[in-house]
């Protein structure tokens, strides 16, 4: 049963400034693992945008945005380089993991589509809950 769906669309141009910030500032939003993937990606700007968009999609799928909940940016990690064509790897910890389990979550389906101009991310939560 689907217990949550979230979609987000972002512009890589919006994240150009974030790429110039010191790593310490980027660590407020991205985990060290995500930053490593971002820095090694074929297009780091698009990869960073995708990681951010996926976090936003997950917040929506979990039933709220980060401003109106106890969810934190680093509780959700996109661990796949978008140039890989395999399944997208995701890790959730902390309050995001707790919310996922409270809702009866069992599996996360992630999808991202990206170009130089736009990134679309989707999260579908599967579980046994009431949604």
Q: Phi first, then psi: give them for residue 124, nearest 5 degrees.
A: -120, 125
pLDDT computed for residue 111 by the predictor: 94
Between CA 52 and CA 67 the distance in angstroms is: 15
**Apex 99 CA angle, 110 and 88, nearest 5:** 15
Q: 75: helix, coil or strand?
A: helix
Q: What is the extent of the structural domain holding 115?
A: 2-127
Q: How many domains does the chain have?
A: 1
Task: Let me know how long the chain is.
Answer: 131
pLDDT in tens, 11-63: 999 888 888 888 888 999 999 999 999 999 999 999 999 999 999 999 999 98
Q: Is the pLDDT of residue 127 over 80?
A: yes
CATH of the domain at 117: 3.90.470.20
> What single DSSP character describes residue 14?
G
For 15, 47, 113, the CA distances from 117, given in Å and listed in that order, are 11, 12, 11
């Amino acid at each position: 049963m689907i217990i949550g769906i979230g979609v987000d669309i972002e512009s890589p141009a919006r994240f150009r400034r974030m790429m110039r910030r010191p790593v310490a500032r980027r660590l407020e939003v991205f985990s060290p693992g995500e930053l490593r993937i971002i820095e090694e990606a074929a297009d780091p700007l698009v990869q960073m945008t995708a990681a951010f968009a996926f976090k936003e999609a997950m917040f929506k799928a979990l039933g709220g945005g980060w401003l109106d909940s106890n969810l934190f940016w680093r509780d959700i990690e996109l661990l796949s380089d978008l140039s890989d064509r395999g399944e997208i790897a995701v890790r959730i910890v902390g309050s995001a993991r707790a919310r996922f389990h409270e809702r009866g979550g069992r599996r996360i389906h992630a999808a991202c589509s990206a170009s130089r101009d736009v990134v679309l991310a989707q999260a579908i939560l599967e579980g046994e809950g009431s949604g």
